[in-house]
Chain A
Amino acid sequence: MDETIKKSLQKTACQVRMGVLTGTFHAKSGHPGGSLSIADLLTYLYCAKMHVDPKHPDMPDRDRLVLSKGHTAPALYAILAERGFFDKKELESLRHIGAMLQGHPCIHTPGVDMSSGSLGQGISAACGMALAGKVKSASYHVYTILGDGEIEEGQVWEAAMFAAHYGLDNLTAIVDNNGLQIDGKITEVCSPEPIDEKFRAFGWHVIVVNDAHDFDQIEAAFNEAETITGKPVAIIQKSVKGKGVSFMENQVGWHGSAPNAEQYEQAMNELKAALAELEA
C-alpha cells in the first residue's frame, strides 16, 4: 500500500477509535472492545474500498455494509461521522433519549444499510441484498461483519449455506476474530473454531488475515477477494479486542462496559499521542 494512503488511513482509524470512546463514554454504556477491534477494517472499507456517497446515502448502486455484530455500532457511527454522513457531535448523544444514534444500528440513520444487533441476523440480510444485486444485475458489492462469538448462532450457517448455493460472489463476510466473547475466550465458552475450515466446508473462499490492524494485510485480503468468482468470500481477521487503548486490549471486561471519566481521559491521551506520532 502507498505509504501516504496508509498513513492517512492510520490517522482516520485513530479518529474512529476516539469516536468509539467518545460515544461510549457519553452513553455511559456500549461496547468499546469489539468496536476498537474493527476500527481499521471499517476505516479501510469506508475510506479506500466502498463506493458510497455521504451526500447520497441511499443511492441505489452504492456498496452496502451490514454490521452483523451490531453491538459494535460505535465504530460504525464513528467512521460514518468521519466520512460526513452526519455531524461528529452526534456521537456525544449515542444511546440518549431522542438521539439519532441508537444502541444498535438502525436503518433510518444515514449511512446505515440495515438494522442489526440481534446476533446472526445481519448476514442473512446481506445475503438478501447480494441476491437482489444478482437479480437486478447491479454492480454493487455487499460486506457484512460478524463477530467470532456471533457465528455460534445457527442462523449464520443457514446464511452461509444459502450464499454458497446461490454463488453470491458479490458478498464478502468478514469475521472479526478477536477471540473473546462475553463469558470469556471463544475457545472456552462453546468454541466455533476452526472458523476457516467451517466456511470452507460451506463452500466459501476463505482468506485469513493474521493482523487485522495492518493495512497492508487488509488490502491484500480484499484484493484477493475481488478476484474470486462464483462463490462468496469469508475473510477471517485475527484482531485484538480493545485495540489501541492499552488497558482495554485483550480484556474481556471491556466487551460491554464504558470508560469512566478517568479512563476516558487516559484512553484519549493514548490515542492523541498515537495520532501526534502519525502526524509528526
Chain B
Amino acid sequence: MAEIKKKATRESYGEALTELAEQYPNLVVLDADLAAATKTGIFKKAYPERFFDCGIAEENMMGVAAGLAAAGMLPFASTFAMFAAGRAYEIVRNSIGYPHLNVKIGATHAGISVGEDGATHQCNEDIALMRTIPGMTVIVPSDDIEAKAAVKAALDHDGPVYMRFGRLAAPILNDPATYKFELGKGITLRDGKDITIVATGLMVGEAAAAAEQLAAEGIDARVLNIHTIKPLDEELIVKAAQETGRIVTVEEHSIIGGLGSAVCDCVSAKCPVPVTKIGVNDEFGHSGPAVDLLKEFGLSAENIVATVKKVLGK
C-alpha cells in the first residue's frame, strides 16, 4: 500500500488563496504578523500589492476587513484561531457578523494539535464561539483537497465565513478527481447500520480508521464527514440517527459548543438518540508534541473504537 501523503491544511489555505487570486481580482489578504505560520506568506510573495500586514493587532485587522468588504473588496483575514475567534470575537460579531459583511476569516493553528506552544495557543473554543454568530458560516476542512475546495466555496459564498485550519500535517484522504465540496452538505464516507461516527477536521481520518477496525470486529459503523459545522447538514444527521440509533461525535475542539453540541441540538429536536461526544473535555491543554497530545486527549482512532464499543455494550 502506498504511503498516504500528508499536508497541513494551513498550507493548503495559503496555496488556494494564491491559486485563486487571478480569478478573484477583489481578493485581498490581511494577516497579523503570522504570515509565515498561517501560510498567507505564499500569497504575499505572489501578490505583494494585495497583501496587508496589520501587525500584532487582530481586533483592528477584523475591523479593517469589515471596512474593505463594505467597500466591495473580498478580504481574507488570517491569524491563529485563538486570536481570530478569541481575542477578536466581539469585533467579528459586531463589525462583520451584524452587518453581514463578505469577510472570510482564515484561522489556523486551531485545536490541541498546536502542540508545544501549549494552552495559551491551543484554541479549543473557536467553533463554539463562531457558530453563535447569526449568519456566520463555519467550515472545518479535513485535508488538503477539502481545504482548497472550501476556500473556493467561501469565495463564492456571499457572507461571512470562518474557516478552521490546522498546524499539523494531515493525511490527504480525498481523491481530487472525484471530490466535491458543497457548503452545508456532509459527506458519507462509509455506510453502516450499527452506529454513526460524526467527525470533522483532523478527526475525519481517525474516524475512518476507527470504522475499519470496528468492521474487523463485526461492528458496522457509518462515518460522516461534517466539514460545514454551520449551516449543519441536519438532513444527513437525522437520517443517520433514524437508521443507526446512536451517534458518536469526534472533534479536535472542546466538547462544549462544537460539533458534538451542534449534532445534539439537531437530534434532540428532530430525532432524539443517545449522542456521545469525543473531544477535549472541560480542561486546558498543555505543551507537548501534537501527536502525543492527540492521543492523550483521546483524539485517536483507538479511543473512537473503545468509545463505540462501550456505547454498544461490546
The residues of A with any CB-CB pair to B shorter than 8 Å are: 60, 64, 66, 106-108, 113-118, 120-133, 135-136, 138, 154-155, 158-159, 161-162, 165-166
Contacts and interface: CB of A to CB of B under 8 A. Distances in A.
A59 to B, nearest CB: 12
Nearest to A125: B67
A125 B73 contact: no
B91 A155 contact: yes
Contacts of B101: 107
Contacts of A117: 94
Interface stretch (B53-61, B123-131, B146-154, B174-182): B53-61
A62 B68 CA distance: 15
A135 B28 CA distance: 9
Contacts of B59: 120-121, 124, 154-155, 158
Contacts of B60: 124, 127, 155, 158-159, 161-162
Contacts of A60: 72
A17 to B, nearest CB: 28
A127 B70 CA distance: 11
A113, A114, A122: most-surrounded residue (chain B CB, <10 A): A114
B28, B54, B57, B66: most-surrounded residue (chain A CB, <10 A): B66
A130 B67 contact: yes
A128 B99 contact: no
Contact of A121 (B71, B73, B95): B95
Contacts of B50: 135
A87 B133 CA distance: 32
B90 interface: yes
Given A125-B95, A158-B60, 4 more contacts: A106-B98, A130-B67, A132-B67, A162-B64
B62, B72, B73, B98: most-surrounded residue (chain A CB, <10 A): B98
Contacts of A131: 52, 64, 67-68
A107 to B, nearest CB: 4
A107 B135 CA distance: 15
B67 A127 contact: yes
Q: Kindly state the interface size class of chain B when it binds its partner.
A: 20 to 34
Contact of B73 (A116, A122, A132): A132
Nearest to A112: B99
A63 to B, nearest CB: 12
Contacts of B95: 114-116, 118, 121, 124-125
B248 interface: no
B272 interface: no
B63 interface: yes
Contacts of B65: 128
B71 A127 contact: no
A-B CB proximity, top 6 nearest:
A128-B67, A124-B63, A132-B71, A158-B60, A158-B57, A125-B67
Given A132-B68, A135-B28, A155-B91, A125 B63 contact: yes
A159 B91 CA distance: 13
B223 interface: no
Contact of A161 (B57, B66, B73): B57
Given A131-B68, A133-B71, A158-B57, A121 B63 contact: yes
11 contacts: A106-B98, A113-B70, A115-B98, A126-B67, A129-B67, A131-B52, A131-B68, A132-B71, A135-B50, A162-B60, A166-B52
B69 interface: yes
Contact of B99 (A114, A124, A129, A130): A114
Contacts of A159: 60, 63-64
Nearest to B71: A132
A243 B308 CA distance: 69
Nearest to B57: A158
Contacts of B57: 155, 158, 161-162
A232 to B, nearest CB: 13
A234 B282 CA distance: 47
B71, B75, B98: most-surrounded residue (chain A CB, <10 A): B71
Given A159-B63, A162-B64, A124 B70 contact: no
A152 B52 CA distance: 26
A124 B66 contact: yes
A66, A106, A125, A158: most-surrounded residue (chain B CB, <10 A): A125
B67 A107 contact: no
Nearest to B64: A128
A113 B95 CA distance: 12
Contact of A135 (B66, B73, B99): B73
